[in-house]
């Protein structure tokens, strides 16, 4: 009986620790071939790229040469209009002083940005 009690306690604890639902994400998308998943969690403003076939996750906070950092500037900048097209994630980093059009190459794990002029 004691073992059954411990089983239920550990099962409950592991469920609570590992339970992560759709409400924990601001954005989630997979590419058409299901090689990559791209997401932004509510608890982390950086963009995460998960290579599903490799089981690796790369976190992008610094936006190339733009000097914008999604983590450090989280209160005043954010990711807008993300979309996966082929091997790229295209998106806007909305910043009141320096909006950028950015692209992450999902295969090479690189990010490039250019000013939008807005």
pLDDT tens-digit series, residues 11-28: 443 344 445 677 888 888
pLDDT grade for 95, boundaries at 50, 70 and 90: confident
Tokens read off for 78: 């954010």
pLDDT tens-digit series, residues 21-76: 778 888 889 888 889 999 999 999 999 999 999 999 999 999 988 888 899 888 88
Query: Torsion angle, CA of 104/49/78/62, rounded to 10 degrees?
Result: -60
Range of the domain at 35: 24-115
Domain count, the chain: 1
Residue 66 lies in a domain: yes
Question: End-to-end CA distance of the chain, in Å?
Answer: 67
Residue 17 lies in a domain: no
Residue 71 lies in a domain: yes
Residue 97 lies in a domain: yes
Q: What is the pTM of this model?
A: 0.77
Nearest to 112 by CA among 65, 51, 78, 57: 65
d(CA 37, CA 49): 6
List the beta bridge partners of residue 92: 80, 101
């Amino acid at each position: 009986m004691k073992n059954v009690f411990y089983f239920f306690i550990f099962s409950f604890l592991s469920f609570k620790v590992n339970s992560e639902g759709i409400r924990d994400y601001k954005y989630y998308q997979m590419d058409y071939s299901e090689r990559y998943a791209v997401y932004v969690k509510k608890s982390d403003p950086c963009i995460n790229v998960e290579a599903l076939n490799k089981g690796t996750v790369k976190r992008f906070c610094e936006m190339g040469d733009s000097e914008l950092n999604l983590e450090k500037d989280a209160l005043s900048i954010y990711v807008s209009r993300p979309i996966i097209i082929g091997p790229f994630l295209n998106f806007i980093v909305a910043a009141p002083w320096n909006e950028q059009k950015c692209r992450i190459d999902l295969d090479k794990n690189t990010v490039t940005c250019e000013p939008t002029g807005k």
